């Protein structure tokens, strides 16, 4: 039920209660509202029925001291004509155009039009040139050439799901009676599909266990091969061949193992950002709402969050652009084999 539906139900309940009790004062006291609020609701109900009880959308106020629309359009036009000018230089130049305005006003106008930085103004300039055939001046062409290298690019090359997976060990904290808690995290760099499992130790066995228990069965179910794993140089990931459980498991399944440079954790940024998301959106909330007595209890709630993360939560990264990780896996144009929801079981406590 949406907040609007709940509010409508509350108003109808107030009218119904007052009619049953035949006492407006008692009904308002029980519902926790004033009698004037009751009469306002009753008047709107008598005039327009149930539709009159819906909340009306309010138009954004027009501030009396806001810059006139024609002046704003002239400022935007001048900003695109000189996209490299900053907010402090713009008022000085606009004086020669007969426009007296402060630098803070220029900044607010830019924000309203989503042109608050030089890069966005250059992108808008390119868009106008592409769509409307806008003729660019020498200054605009020079600005575009100088900033062509600043366009965000993918710093990790990933061609399809399973092409490159990142793995890391994240120390969650300490639970009384259980001890230290570690989370093994695995993220697919193509679509940010994530896996997480909790352990009480930081060993090669635990690093291999999440792959055997969660990751490999998931990808094998859809005939998606895992080509390469990227990890840091921790002892749970690096060792000597057949004497190391994690390295042995990768060799058995034919998965390449890549390591980041020492002191360069940003190279494994996908899983580092995943750790931060799980920390902020799950652990920091869960530990304030509930007292956990066992690792299994915490793992159950973590599985519920991971379902939300992969199947319900839109991601704003440059790879997904508002999509959910499962949508990328279900994309027929990028997957080796079409996936369906029928092959994926949701946790029992997920509605």
Q: What integer pLDDT is reported at residue 279 of this predicted model?
A: 92
> Distance (Å, rounded) from C-alpha 35 to C-alpha 27?
9
Q: Of 127, 150, 173, which residue sits at a domain end?
A: 150
- As to burial, measured by CB atoms within 10 angstroms (0-12 exposed, 13-18 middle, 19+ buried), residue 291 is exposed
Nearest one of 107, 109, 72 to 86, comparing CA atoms:
107
In a domain, 203, yes or no: yes
Q: What integer pLDDT is reported at residue 333 of this predicted model?
A: 45
Residues 25 and 90 reside in one and the same domain: no
- Do 206 and 198 form a contact (C-beta atoms < 8 A)? no
Residues 189 and 267 reside in one and the same domain: yes
Residues 6+ apart with CB under 8 A from 334: 160, 161, 190, 328
CATH number at residue 200: 3.30.420.10
Residues 192 and 314 reside in one and the same domain: yes
Domain range for 91 = 69-150
Q: What integer pLDDT is reported at residue 295 of this predicted model?
A: 92
Q: What integer pLDDT is reported at residue 339 of this predicted model?
A: 43
In a domain, 99, yes or no: yes
DSSP-assigned letters across all residues of 244-262: SHHHHHHHHTT-EEEEPPT
Q: What integer pLDDT is reported at residue 337 of this predicted model?
A: 45
In a domain, 351, yes or no: no
Residues 98 and 183 reside in one and the same domain: no
What φ, ψ does residue 37 adopt, rounded to 5°? -65, -40
Q: What integer pLDDT is reported at residue 132 of this predicted model?
A: 78
- HSE (side-chain half, CA atoms, 13 Å) at 106: 23
What φ, ψ does residue 237 adopt, rounded to 5°? -110, -25
Q: What integer pLDDT is reported at residue 338 of this predicted model?
A: 42
Q: Of 105, 126, 150, which residue sits at a domain end?
A: 150
What φ, ψ does residue 182 adopt, rounded to 5°? -120, 145
Q: What integer pLDDT is reported at residue 200 of this predicted model?
A: 92
Residues 116 and 199 reside in one and the same domain: no
In a domain, 243, yes or no: yes
Residues 80 and 47 reside in one and the same domain: no
Domains in the chain, number: 3
Residues 6+ apart with CB under 8 A from 201: 182
Helix (H) or strand (E) holding 45: helix 35-48
What sign for the dihedral angle of Cα 289, 295, 300, 302?
Answer: positive
> Distance (Å, rounded) from C-alpha 38 to C-alpha 18?
9
Consecutive sets of 10 residues in the chain, 351 residues long: mean pLDDT of each? Answer: 78 88 89 89 86 76 82 90 86 88 91 87 81 74 65 63 91 89 92 92 92 92 89 88 86 90 79 91 89 92 93 80 83 48 49 45
> Distance (Å, rounded) from C-alpha 337 to C-alpha 329?
10
In a domain, 267, yes or no: yes
Residues 103 and 183 reside in one and the same domain: no
Q: Of 150, 173, 201, which residue sits at a domain end?
A: 150
Q: What integer pLDDT is reported at residue 155 of this predicted model?
A: 58
Residues 192 and 97 reside in one and the same domain: no
Residues 286 and 309 reside in one and the same domain: yes
């Amino acid at each position: 039920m949406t907040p609007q539906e709940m509010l409508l139900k509350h108003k109808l309940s107030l009218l119904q209660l007052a009619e049953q009790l035949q006492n407006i004062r008692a009904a308002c006291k029980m519902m926790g509202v004033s009698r004037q609020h009751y009469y306002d609701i009753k008047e709107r109900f008598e005039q327009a029925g149930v539709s009159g009880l819906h909340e009306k959308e309010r138009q954004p106020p027009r501030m009396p001291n806001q810059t006139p629309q024609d002046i704003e359009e002239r400022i935007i036009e001048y900003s695109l004509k000189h996209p490299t000018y900053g907010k402090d230089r713009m008022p000085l130049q606009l004086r020669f155009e007969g426009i007296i305005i402060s630098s803070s006003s220029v900044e607010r106008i830019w924000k309203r039009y989503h042109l608050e930085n030089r890069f966005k103004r250059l992108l808008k300039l390119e868009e106008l040139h592409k769509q409307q055939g806008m003729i660019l001046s020498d200054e605009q062409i020079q600005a575009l050439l100088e900033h062509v290298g600043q366009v965000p690019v993918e710093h990790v090359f990933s061609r399809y799901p399973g092409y490159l997976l990142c793995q890391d060990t994240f120390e969650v904290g300490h639970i009384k009676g259980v001890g230290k808690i570690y989370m093994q995290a695995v993220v697919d760099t193509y679509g940010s599909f994530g896996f997480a499992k909790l352990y009480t130790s930081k060993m090669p066995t635990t690093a291999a266990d999440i792959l055997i228990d969660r990751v490999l069965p998931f990808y094998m179910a859809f005939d998606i091969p895992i080509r390469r794993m990227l990890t840091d140089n921790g002892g749970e990931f690096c060792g000597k061949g057949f004497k190391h459980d994690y390295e042995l498991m990768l060799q058995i399944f034919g998965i390449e193992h890549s390591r980041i440079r020492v002191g360069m954790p940003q190279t494994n940024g996908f899983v580092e950002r995943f750790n931060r998301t799980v920390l902020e959106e799950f652990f920091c909330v869960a530990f304030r709402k509930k007292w956990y007595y066992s690792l299994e209890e915490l793992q159950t709630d973590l599985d519920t969050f991971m379902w939300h993360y992969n199947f319900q939560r839109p991601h704003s990264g440059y790879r997904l652009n508002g999509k959910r990780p499962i949508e990328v896996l279900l994309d027929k144009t990028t997957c080796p084999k079409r996936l369906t929801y029928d092959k994926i079981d949701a946790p029992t406590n997920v509605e």
